[in-house]
Structure 1
Amino acid sequence: MKKFILSFAVIAAIGFTSCSSDDDNGGSDDGGCQTCDLELLGTTTSTEYCDNGDGTMDVTTEGTTETVDLQGQDYDAFISALESSGFTCS
């Protein structure tokens, strides 16, 4: 179930990303980490996304960390797409 939610989050973020103005209102300007929460079926899942600065990010859910290739997508755009698809990030 955890991998399903993580996979859904990554696919949703990539699917909802489109060309837009280059503003940084939703993401991290310092290359740091964002913690994003998603409530699904009454359960809230908290995931930390950390920009590695090399086109990858570390994704940590329930103590398990995976390095994910952003496939050319900007980290800030990825976080904005998560927020657009229902995640709450801070």
Structure 2
Amino acid sequence: MKKLSLLLTLTLGLFIASCSSDDDSGSKNNNCVTCEIELFGTVNTTDYCDNGDGTVTVTAEGEEEVVDLEGATFHQFISAFEQLGSCN
């Protein structure tokens, strides 16, 4: 169930981020943001760190995964999660 929640979070975030028209070409390298999103009655806390190369390191429940932003900026990626929960 934990992996399913992470997969749904990542998939939804990438889908929304790829549809965004915002541009933040000056994103900072190694910028990290923590987001809390409620899915299926459970609050999921995930850390997202901009690698500065078009990828993000996602850390959830002690597991790390590198995700390709597929052309979206880090700002667009995080903005998608801000619409679903709170990020700081």
Identity of aligned residues (%): 45
Give the helix-richer structure, 1 or 2. 2
TM-score, structure 1 as length reference: 0.79
Q: What's the counterpart of residue 21 of structure 2?
A: 20
Q: What's the counterpart of residue 56 of structure 1?
A: 55
- Across the aligned residues of Structure 1 and Structure 2, the Cα RMSD in angstroms comes to 2.0
Which range moved further: 12-21 or 74-83? 12-21
2:84 aligned with 1:89, yes or no?
A: no
- After superposition, the Cα gap between the structure-2 partners of 1:69 and 1:43, relative to the gap in structure 1 and judged at 3 Å, is same
Deviations 1:20-75 (A, max 9, x none): 3446xxxxx53310000112233211000000000111100111111111111111
TM-score, structure 2 as length reference: 0.81
Q: Distance in 2 between matches of 1:35 and 1:12?
A: 16
2:44 aligned with 1:45, yes or no?
A: yes
Where structure 2 has 5 or more consecutive residues not aligned to the other structure, the ranges are: none
